[in-house]
Chains A and B, each alone.
Chain A
Amino acid sequence: MNASNPGHDEAQSLLPWLANGSLTGAEQERVQAHLQGCAECRGDLALLHTLRAAGAGDTAADETSAGDADAAFARLLPRLDAAPEPAALPDVVNHVAKPGPAANDRNWLRVAAGVQFCAIVVLGLMLAHAPAGPEAPKDAYRVLGAGDVARHGLVIAFDPDTPERDIRRIVLASGARVVGGPTATGAWLLDTAQAPATVIQRLRAEPAVTLAEPLDAQGAP
């Protein structure tokens, strides 16, 4: 940079942000004024516009990303379940959150981790003592047949390639709701207040559903 010309130095240091349109106010005015009489800075600015256009023309990455977002989001979902969900904080809904306890409070996290650990132990014990079903994949049925889950409990599994949005749609349309899962075998636990046979019929009508079974004897097909 040229130490004898502060205006030129400032323009040289700010040209990238003039080129990307983020320079504002007095800085923008000073740099624009300098450009009027400086061919070197005008040439550099033109070069930056060229480089910016060359980078902006690369849309392949964006297109690829859009296609991959569903799969990546589906892979993240179980981690959301594993993570302590942000606690209900009515005062922060619809405006910028303020620092505070609740969701990411360290003590809260410890308690949540403790509760999760207890739940895992209980589920593990139930899994160990549950009888395997005759039709469903062994692992899936052992998880889902465990104990008195719900009077109208159901177990369901999807084709592994099913997008998360389809899973949501299918569950909502069936009249059931997700109460657990996915398990290690990819099964989900649902419950419903409706007749289980009807709900299962709806679920089985979906090509993406590879398994839909009642968890209770009354609802068995």
Chain B
Amino acid sequence: MQRSSDEVAILAKTAEGEACLIGRIAAGDRRAFEALYRAYFPRLTRFLQRMTRSSTLIEEVVNDTLLVVWRKAVTFDGSSKVSTWIFAIAYRRACKALHALDEPVESGPDEREGLDSDRPEWRLDQQRLAVALDDALAALPLVQRVAFQLTFHHDMTYTEIAEIMECPVNTIKTRLFHTRKRLAALLEHQLEGRA
């Protein structure tokens, strides 16, 4: 039983394995679903944290998204990667949920405070930059933030991002161009002497 569970979990580590899991889920295999769930829970949570800081809403969107995967697995035709399909569902769900709540672009205080003072200086600088980057991203429009995050935190191609955000590839390229110029301006002081 344990060995079998491990084998299913290993499938969630590659794009081909994920497609195989979707096939099993379509046939009602709950172990396959659990393996996919555990693989995507942290990825989707991290993705959604750029859209809202409400942990309740994040879990709600993650579970809604994966429930759709459970119900609609049989419709997955392999024309896109499983990750693109799932992130697209999550993005639509999150937009819908935020719209329903009329939640503004969050820009609350960063939770990562009280850094260990005994960490190496370079690490502290990196943490400070990460905090500043968080704040800068929070000041951007949602679509720019999402495009930036899918590019730099999830390493997706511009084609995949265009598919997820349901817009032309050139729109994504232009969006990223403006996003990085804006970030460079917002982070000017933190980036001095780095690049």
Hey, which bits of chain A sit against chain B, CB under 8 A?
A: 1, 12-17, 19-23, 43-44, 46-58, 60-62, 64-66, 68-69, 72-73, 75-76, 79-80, 83-90, 92-100, 102-104, 172
A57-B127, A80-B30 are known contacts. Are A92 and B23 too (CB-CB below 8 A)?
Answer: yes
Report the separation of the CA atoms of residues A13 and B41 in the bound assembly, to the nearest whole angstrom. 31
Q: Which residue of A20, A86, A93, A99 contacts B155 across the interface (Cβ within 8 Å)?
A: A20
> CA–CA, A108 to B46, complex, Å?
35
Q: Are B73 and A97 in contact, with the CB atoms below 8 A? A: yes
Bin chain B's interface residue count: 35 or more
For the complex, give the distance between the alpha carbons of A67 and B23 in Å: 27
B75 within 8 A of A: yes
- Tell me the dominant secondary structure on chain A's binding face: helix
Cα A23 to Cα B158 in complex, Å, equals 9
B180 on the A face (CB < 8 A): yes
Q: List 25 A-B contacts (CB under 8 A).
A: A13-B173, A17-B151, A20-B152, A22-B155, A50-B195, A54-B129, A57-B126, A57-B130, A58-B112, A64-B45, A65-B41, A68-B59, A72-B62, A79-B63, A89-B26, A90-B27, A92-B74, A93-B23, A95-B20, A97-B22, A97-B23, A97-B26, A99-B75, A104-B74, A104-B75
* Chain B residues whose CB sits within 8 angstroms of the CB of A64 once the complex forms: 45
**Do A43 and B195 touch across chains, with their CB atoms under 8 A apart?**
yes
B70 neighbours in A (Cβ, 8 Å) = 80, 83, 86
In the bound complex, residues from chain B placing their C-beta under 8 Å from that of A56 are 152-153
* Interface-located stretch among B31-39, B86-94, B95-103: B31-39
B42 in the interface, Cβ–Cβ < 8 Å? yes
Q: Is the CB of A1 within 8 A of B177?
A: yes
Could you tell me the distance between the alpha carbons of A147 and B24 in the complex, rounded to whole angstroms? 35
Q: Which residue of A lies closest to B31 (CB)?
A: A168
In the complex, A124 Cα to B180 Cα: how many Å?
Answer: 59
